[in-house]
Structure 1
Amino acid sequence: MNDESNKHDSRELQMNEKLTRRKFMVTASLATGFAMAVHPVSAKTITTDSNGLLAGAVKIPVKNGAIPAYRAQPASGSNFPIILVVQEIFGVHEHIQDVVRRLAKLGYLAIAPELFVRQGDVLKLSSVEEIRAVVAKVPDAQVFADLDATLAWAVKSSQGNVDRVGITGFCWGGRITWLYAAYNPKVKAGVAWYGRLVGESTPLTPRHPVDIAATLSVPVLGLYGGKDTGIPLESVDKVRTLLASGRSKSEIVVYPEAPHAFFADYRPSYRETEAKDGWDRLQKWFKSQGLM
């Protein structure tokens, strides 16, 4: 085991010890549709069937309980490359589940764990302000530990290949994609969709992508909108410069006319041309890193 793996295991133990100080039992289940806060849902919403797939809700064992997740993989075969899918602030609702099925159709074992479930059930909240109040309570350490547990489950229980692991995430999950790629040496590549890049260091969120960009060793593709009012292009340019000084060979693509959440086909922010281009780039990125 190399030094990097040893450091990861040590960090994981420390984080798990902190998390186990507070007992919990998760009883929430996955959404069967879209989060309440995103209604009405757009007529352009993409629906991917589960034909040829093993797809549905699963439970991921974590310290003192289990968290729900949505998993999809080809119905036959084994040793599948694994893609961790990290949710938006709206939880693992139908859009994220559909993304998981799209990845499974490409031959991946894709899985999206519910990462806010200890703090609250965002799927049943009707306002973005209420959801943000829940999400603000989620510590990065908890998220990393849950993603570690999800990856372990995918390998042990769902025929995943631990040597071919990727991660992708959207909005809140885009930020986590950058950070988890830096945290877990098992990750071989990431694709971050319009994830926040800078922010205040707090006990719950001590680091942000800007803090790890220069030392990142895992190739991450960042996909951003030039009209994103929540992610200034100055921050995108800053991280791009830091990445260029490092060794990860990461890239950032900016779609000049795209707003935030341009991939979210169920929302008014959806931009079909940019979304399709981004999805094509995701596939090529993962393949170029040996994940297919």
Structure 2
Amino acid sequence: MTTTKEFDSLLPSNCSDRRSFITTVAAAGFALAVQPVQAQTVISTSSDKLEAGGGSIPVEGGALPIYYARPAQAAGRLPTVLVVQEIFGVHEYIRDVCRRLAKLGYLAIAPELYFRQGDPARLENVGAILETIVSKVPDAQVLADLDATAAWALGKGGDAGRLAITGFCWGGRITWLYSAHNPKIKAGVAWYGKLDGAPSALTPRHPLDIAGSLHAPVLGLYGGQDQGIPMHDVEAMQAELKKAGSKSEIVVYPDAPHAFHADYRPSYRKEAAEDGWKRLQTWFREHGV
């Protein structure tokens, strides 16, 4: 875990640069105390009876690396779930989530959405990841890469009529945005994704801006003790969804921090994580995925 002194050492010396850096960190909407690690998960899902592994998809700017998992023996086309990474990229925890979904009968695909900007696994701390990678990733690029991933799924036996998305932290925000972007999405589950922020050239809109434009219902799962996502943002999102007549819902776990599903981190909360996972399954099933 990063101490206050250690985090302060990550800050630029110039005052205006320090303020800019802290704003960028806050905008990421995740717990500052979490360092990037090689994720060793509490839950370890085997690839037995699964087809699982890597691949790549031709996209603008190169070849998009992916990890996917699906039942090895499946009759007919499979419901498909796009799995969107945390800020730390597609590491073992995200790959395990794909295998967990495959065990439930899904084709689950996690694209490496930072591949043009860099590899977060090569960086030593959160500050470096935010400054050198995350701050340079355009939303438009991410949405286009997810479109390409959804199209690729068809060649792997995916069902275009049963497409869902789920994402964690950075990917939780993207889950909201993609659910307003792709009219073919049937359902989304956003885990503690940032809801509001200052618009920029690369991130022109946030979930609060598109609450009335969702093509599919989104289930938002949030922690009441999240230091990066204030409850007034969650309440504002709930109000916007209600005003729009959306079928989306938000569930708050009062005692849970940010990243409560991330079972390789100290932030993991077993009860909230298991309840959220059950809700995800029910949500997808109820909305035809």
Please give the range of the TM-score, normalised by the shorter of the 2 chains. Answer: 0.7 to 0.9
**Residue 69 (1) aligns with residue 66 (2):** yes
Deviates more, 1:210-219 or 1:252-261: 210-219
Decide whether the 8 Å contact of 1:216 with 1:243 is kept in 2. Answer: no
* TM-superposition CA deviations, 1:93-119 (whole Å, max 9, x none): 000000000000000000000001101
Identity %: 61
Find the aligned partners of 1:37 and 1:58 in 2 and give their Cα distance. Answer: 27
Specify the alignment match of 1:290 in structure 2. Answer: 288
Find the aligned partners of 2:83 and 2:143 in 1 and give their Cα distance. Answer: 13
1:113 aligned partner, one-letter code: P
Specify the alignment match of 2:177 in structure 1. Answer: 179
Q: Aligned runs of 1:1-292 on 2, under 5 Å? A: 37-39=35-37, 45-77=42-74, 78-133=76-131, 134-155=133-154, 157-291=155-289
Count of aligned positions: 254
Stretches of structure 2 that go unaligned for 5 or more consecutive residues are: 1-33
Change in CA separation of 1:64 and 1:238 when aligned onto 2, cut-off 3 Å:
closer
1:245 aligned partner, one-letter code: K
* TM-superposition CA deviations, 1:116-150 (whole Å, max 9, x none): 11011111111010111111100000001100000
RMSD over aligned Cα atoms: 1.4
Which portions of structure 1, spanning 4 or more consecutive aligned residues, are displaced by more than 6 angstroms? Answer: none
CA positional deviation for 1:41: 5.5
Decide whether the 8 Å contact of 1:86 with 1:168 is kept in 2. Answer: yes
CA positional deviation for 1:216: 2.2
CA positional deviation for 1:70: 0.4
Find the aligned partners of 2:234 and 2:254 in 1 and give their Cα distance. Answer: 12
Find the aligned partners of 1:286 and 1:40 in 2 and give their Cα distance. Answer: 29
SS at match of 1:168: strand
1:68 aligned partner, one-letter code: P
Stretches of structure 1 that go unaligned for 5 or more consecutive residues are: 1-35
Decide whether the 8 Å contact of 1:217 with 1:247 is kept in 2. Answer: no
Query: Scaled by the length of structure 2, what TM-score is found?
Result: 0.85
Find the aligned partners of 2:119 and 2:215 in 1 and give their Cα distance. Answer: 35
SS at match of 1:273: helix
Decide whether the 8 Å contact of 1:167 with 1:189 is kept in 2. Answer: yes
SS at match of 1:190: strand
Decide whether the 8 Å contact of 1:219 with 1:248 is kept in 2. Answer: yes
Query: Scaled by the length of structure 1, what TM-score is found?
Result: 0.85
